[in-house]
Amino acid sequence: MTQFVQFEILAEGVGLITLSRPVAANAMSVQLLTELGATLDRVNGDPTVRVVLLTGAGEKAFCAGADLKERQGMSDRQVKQIVQLIGETVTKVEALAQPVIAVLNGVAFGGGLELALACDLRMAATHTKVGLTETSLGIIPGAGGTQRLPRLIGIGKAKELIYTARRLNAEQAKSCGIVEYVYEGHELREKALQLAEEMAKNAPLSLRQAKIAINQGTEVDLATGLKIESLAYSALIPTEDRLEGLLAFQEKRAPQYSGQ
């Protein structure tokens, strides 16, 4: 059986997950979703992986969304199960302990953009196009798009994009705040790796606690968010890495973090 999700270590502390179904624009078939979920389970909390890059195979598509061809002939019950599986898999990406950078090497429509929205940051090739196009197909974003996009770019703009099913080019997506970086296709992966390595050199437990504090804190009022931050900070006080960070600062050298 062909494997639709690949995982490899690109550099120390940096892992790469690749959706590898280019002939179908890396669309989310049941097999791809199952493999992606299993890969995320393996990577989650792996001490050798401090930052994760998520991309698609080829140069045309990051992920074109749900596999609508596979969905043909399915019963309403089966469709609901598939939509639930997509949502659960996307949420797994968001819940990954490590920071995740979406490397958009091509189109990201529908569920493909929802997958990218679940990542911590997004980088796009100049030829990339993105959009939550579901309303043009008689449905709505069903894997978190109606929730994550407004939180990222604001309610008004998100409603505009969802209601119109508009497709944006990379620069438009950047101006809206959907992606943080845009690069030429030939330099995208190298730029993504550089950013990931810049993160991976820092204390891995700190990265994880910072992610928890940010993700959970933005969902609550400020006072509660500050308590969440305090708890995340407190979790780092007894760690060896905190002591190593202090010692390295005193000795004016680069810290050697172990994730302990």
Per-residue pLDDT tens digits for 171-214:
999 999 999 999 999 999 999 999 999 999 999 999 999 999 99
Largest CA distance in the chain: 66
Set 25, 57, 64, 66: catalytic member: 66
All CATH 3.90.226.10 domain ranges in the chain, comma separated? 5-200
Per-residue pLDDT tens digits for 216-243:
999 999 999 999 999 999 999 999 889 9
pLDDT at 43 over 80: yes
Set 97, 124, 134, 232: catalytic member: 134
Strand, coil or helix: 13: strand
**pTM of the shown model:** 0.93
Per-residue pLDDT tens digits for 244-255:
888 888 888 888
Q: According to the model, what pLDDT value does residue 257 have? A: 85
How many other CB atoms sit within 10 Å of the CB of residue 78?
12
Q: Which residues pair with residue 53 across a beta bridge?
A: 16, 101
The H-or-E segment that residue 104 falls in is strand 100-104
CATH classification of 5-200, choosing from 3.90.226.10, 3.40.640.10, 3.80.30.20, 3.40.1160.10? 3.90.226.10
Extract the tokens encoding 117: 């929205």
Q: Which residues pair with residue 121 across a beta bridge?
A: 101
Sheet with 181-183, edge to edge strand ranges: 5-11, 13-19, 49-56, 100-104, 121-125, 181-183
Mean pLDDT, rounded, of the chain: 94
CA distance 245 to 238: 12
Set 56, 65, 106, 111: catalytic member: 111
- 235 classed as catalytic: no
Q: How far is CA 174 from CA 125, 126, 166, 189, 191, in A?
A: 11, 10, 15, 17, 16
Q: Domain 204-250 is of which CATH architecture? A: Orthogonal Bundle (1.10)
Region of 65 (left: φ > 0; alpha: ψ -120 to 50; beta: rest) is left
- 59 classed as catalytic: no
All CATH 1.10.12 domain ranges in the chain, comma separated? 204-250
What b/e string do you get for 48-61 counting C-beta neighbours within 10 Å, with b at 16 or more?
Answer: ebbbbbbbbbbeeb
- 160 classed as catalytic: no
